[in-house]
Structure 1
Amino acid sequence: MRKTLLASLALVLVSSTAFAQNATGTASDNKIKIGILNDQSGVYADFGGKSSVEAAKMAIEEFGGKVLGMPIEIVDADHQNKPDIASNIARQWYDTEQVDAIMELTTSSVALAVQAVAKEKKKIDIVTGAATTDLTGKACSPYGFHWAYDTHALAVGTGGALVKQGGDSWFFLTADYAFGYSLEQQTGDFVKANGGTIAGSVRHPLSSTDFSSFLLQAQSSGAKVIGLANAGLDTSNAIKQAAEFGIVQGGQRLAALLFTLAEVHGLGLEAAQGLTLTEGYYWNRDDQSREFAKKFFERTNKMPNMIHTGTYSAVRQYLKAVEKAGTDETEAVAKAIHEMPVDDVFAQGGTVAKNGRMIHDMYLLQVKKPDESKEAWDYFDVLDTIPGKEAYMDPAKSGCDLVN
């Protein structure tokens, strides 16, 4: 009788556990763990960095620190803009630290390397900091997503605006890695498709401090527009040194093809005024964006750019997908991310295409003159809204084998 009672009790416990799992969902290790992997000490530290970690924490706190009744954990690391370091961290996180998804991934070479690891391990990655369209093209993954922006959107936005304004001859000053190549190619293609010409290009190493020889080549080309196909401190340093050479005063225009609020703040309005750029978010655009920015500022002492807010959005959407799927199992979560619309402070009516590209509106911005700025961080005029379907490449033409 005692054995029978023990067996019955065991059956009740098993049944109760199963009921609880069905009621709250399941996770492979009784927790949801997210990794933020980005540049925290180098040329892109202000571009994303620790502020992206804070944005991720904001999304987690909105969920009360739990999803499916299980705690949400976050880890972060500095990949130093080195693909081998990033890959090693990703493998360790996925293999031994029970990380379910890795996000942010500033630097295209890093993002491509980590997405390859995630695909091999059948784990989720959501890129907000890198730009290359290869992430949703030839290197696409059923578990990989590209969130905040990409080189095609930047080319359509900034490149398109300057061509319309008469900037029909270009010379590119390009960062010598995957992101720079992609941005130069796609902007160049867009310029030529609209009747413009490319006078030439020159490539510089990541984290350059001396742009003098590159700028002299650009100046001597006679091109109307010098396209800066770089980002972060590289762009800021190039703009500062261009002023020393009197390039703008000489009649040429600078196109900062990837420039965000963080870099404008670091450079200052005096040096940055008049620059045209494209972002996926601007804190002072409407009441919703201002409300989020105020909360972000209280934590970081800065206003967010599209990388920070995009990371918040990516983490939030991942957690919503886990909630919808009722599990953290990769296939189920990836399916939910593809199916769910994106409606938050970053994107309104965003959709996720078959190749993992999140399609949302982008904003064409111009940096104000110092006397036009009404308050701290009030740096941009919104010139135009670029609909997502215009900003992003047609998934069928992306080269991703998941689409067709």
Structure 2
Amino acid sequence: MTKKVTKAGSISRRRLLTTASAGAALAVSPFRINLLQAEEAPIKIGFPVPLTGPYGAEAQDQVRAGQLAVAQFNDAGGLNGRKAELVVRDDKLNPGEAATRTLELVEKERVNFVVGSLSAAVQLAINNVTKERGVIFNSISQSDAINEAADFSKYTFHEALNPHMTSGAVGRYAFAKFGKKVAFLTADYAYGHEMVRGFLEVGKEFNIENLGDIRHPLGTTDFSTLLPRLQALKPDILCISNFGRDQQIALKQATDFGIKKSIQIIAPLLSHASRVAAGPQAFEGVVGGCSFYWGIEDKFASTKAFNDAFRKMYDGKLPTDYGALGYGGVRTVLEAVKGAGSVETDKVVAAQESLKYDYYKGPQYYRKCDHQSVQSVLVIKSKSKDMKNESDVFEVLSTEEPNEKYLRTCEALGHKS
């Protein structure tokens, strides 16, 4: 009987077939398929904003500019060819709805990151969902609380100004020029409360006298019983701390009551969309703050580049203040993705923390302890003449340059040094 001998190092046909079969099985295994799908799937950015409700115009601007940031990322090749996608949801300016939509974005849509919000209370609801699930959230709405240790997490970033910064800049300008007797008309929720707190804090430097604070619910349509009470206090300054349609209606009625004849009206935040919607008369002479105005393109090349890209994408329109925040909020996350070379959360957090950037308004960076974007604050006044175009609605009176001294300290926010 002859015995077949297999040479050392050779592979029998049966073993070769077995090995090939195993390799084929490995190649099509669920793990391998899922890995490939994850690498090829778009980078999803959830974007919950109040498309319906009193802040709808500002929210639409946020979406448009966020889409521009995504388009630029994709046109530049994405992350090694992997493109990004903006997944928009309507939070209806309601914290409960925002939490539900954010949960849907995270668990159903499997978004990699979340950017958005346009309310102090709503962004806290979004942040609660994202931080519990280890998802980066970059807020593009004003809030003091989101920077505080009780609400903050390492996944929380804040691209927007906060009320302390905004009211501080406006207060330093107004209290030095218009007088010390101040009365307040305040939206009775977190945004209004935090703005007034900021005004009173900076007011200590100027020895202002607080004549009274009359509060109103969000969505008020008639201020006719409140404004005469404030007028009777005879303030030098009336500070109207509300936003959106509330601000438009309050300023229209204040104009009708003749309040501007003897009292300087200021607002912590003036919205481009609100000014356009209400018209020049209602906002005439009102002084306030904002994070961005397209007109600073003469000062910053980044503003000019942003304006030009927005014009090209949207038929010659110019970006607004809240639009710019949508752009900055999305772009900083995508730039961090490129810097990290990955969508892995911890790597992107580290990359975003280290950003020193100038994408649309001059230099910015995120403070390490609370991820607040340190940036300029513009003090502006509404105008109605000598306008270069239909978007030329504000005059920049002064600029408070980026400086951590204008922020609440990390210790005051509850962060350990």
Whether these two folds match at TM > 0.5 is: yes
Residue by residue over 1:316-371, the C-alpha shift from the partner in whole angstroms, topping out at 9 and shown as x without a partner, is 11111112223222222112111121221134243443201010112112222x33
Tell me the CA shift for residue 8 of structure 1: 8.7
Aligned match for 1:314, one of 288, 307, 329: 329
* 1:254 CA drift (Å): 0.9
- TM-score by length of structure 2 reads 0.87
Structure 2 match to 1:384: 398
Give me the TM-score of the superposition, normalised by structure 1.
0.89
Please, what is the CA RMSD of the aligned residues? 2.6
**Contact 1:174 1:201 (C-alpha < 8 Å) held by counterparts:** yes
CA contact (8 A) 1:26 1:68 kept: no
Tell me the equivalent position of 1:36.
47
Residue from 327, 347, 369 that aligns with 1:354: 369
CA contact (8 A) 1:359 1:392 kept: no
User: How far is the alpha carbon of 1:27 from its aligned partner?
Assistant: 5.3
User: Which residue of structure 2 aligns with residue 59 of structure 1?
Assistant: 69
Structure 2 residue aligned with 1:88: 100
CA distance in 2, matches of 1:201, 1:95: 43
Q: Mind listing any 5+ residue stretches in structure 2 that lack a counterpart? A: 1-14
* Equivalent residue letter for 1:308: G
Unaligned runs of 5+ in 1: none
Matched, 1:326 2:314: no
Amino acid at match of 2:354: E
Which of 245, 250, 256 matches 2:267? 256
Helix, strand or coil at the partner of 1:203: strand
C-alpha contact (below 8 Å) 1:39/1:79 kept by paired residues: yes
Q: Is the 8 A contact 2:374 2:404 kept in 1?
A: no
Q: Write the distance in 2 (CA, Å) between the matches of 1:268 and 1:122.
A: 43
Q: In 2, distance between residues paired with 1:99 and 1:10?
A: 31
Contact 2:61/2:322 (<8 A) preserved: no
- Tell me the number of residue pairs that the alignment of Structure 1 and Structure 2 aligns: 392
Aligned AA (1:183): M
**Deviations 1:206-256 (CA, angstroms, capped at 9, x unpaired):** 11110112212211122211111111111111000001111111x111112
Q: Quote how far apart the aligned CAs of 1:54 are.
A: 1.4
Counterpart in 1 of 2:284?
A: 273
Percent of aligned pairs with the same residue?
26
The answer on whether the counterparts of 1:27 and 1:329 sit within 8 Å (CA) in structure 2 is no
- Alpha-carbon distance in structure 2 between the residues aligned to 1:76 and 1:391: 35
1:136 is aligned to 147
Asked whether the 8 Å contact 1:51–1:300 carries over to 2, the reply is: no
Contact 2:48–2:116 under 8 Å retained in 1: yes
Q: Tell me how far 1:174 sits from its aligned partner.
A: 0.9
* Aligned residues of 1:44 and 1:232 also touching (Cα < 8 A): yes
| Amino acid across the alignment from 1:54 | R
Shift of the alpha carbon at 1:151?
Answer: 0.4
SS at match of 2:83: strand
Q: Shift of the alpha carbon at 1:294?
A: 4.1
Distance 2:40 2:188 in 1: 41
CA–CA distance in structure 2, aligned partners of residues 327 and 365 of structure 1: 40
In 2: Cα distance, 1:333 partner to 1:259 partner: 33
Give yes or no for the alignment of 1:229 onto 2:241.
Answer: yes
Amino acid at match of 1:270: Q
- 1:300 and 1:36, CA in 2 relative to 1: closer, same or farther beyond 3 A? farther
Offset of 1:305 from its aligned partner?
2.2
Shift of residue 13, structure 1, vs aligned partner: 6.3
Worse overlay, 74-83 or 370-379? 370-379
Which of 314, 318, 329 is equivalent to 1:303?
318
Query: Which protein has the larger Cα radius of gyration, Structure 1 or Structure 2?
Result: 2
1:345 correspondence with 2:360: yes
Q: Is the 8 A contact 2:99 2:125 kept in 1?
A: yes
Cα distance change, pair 294–12 in 1 and its aligned pair in 2 (3 A): same
Please tell me the residue identity of whatever aligns with 1:325.
A
- Distance in 1, matches of 2:144 and 2:412, equals 8
Matches within 5 A, 1:280-295: 280-287=291-298, 288=301, 289-295=303-309
Q: Which shifted more, 68-77 or 137-146?
A: 68-77
Alignment check: 8 A CA contact 1:36 1:103 kept: yes
The code of the aligned residue for 1:207 comes to: G
Distance 1:148 1:67 in 2: 26
Q: Which amino acid aligns with 1:314?
A: G
Q: 1:136 to 1:300 in 2, by over 3 A?
A: farther
Structure 1 segments (4+ residues) deviating >4 Å:
7-14, 25-29
> In 2, Cα distance between the equivalents of 1:211 and 1:166?
24
Match of 2:207 in 1: 195
Distance 1:158 1:26 in 2: 50
Aligned to 1:76, the other structure's residue is in SS state strand
Secondary structure at 2:201's aligned position in 1?
helix
The answer to whether structure 1 residue 218 and structure 2 residue 233 are counterparts is no
Counterparts in 2 of 1:351 and 1:142: CA distance versus 1, 3 Å: closer
| 1:152 paired to 2:164 | yes
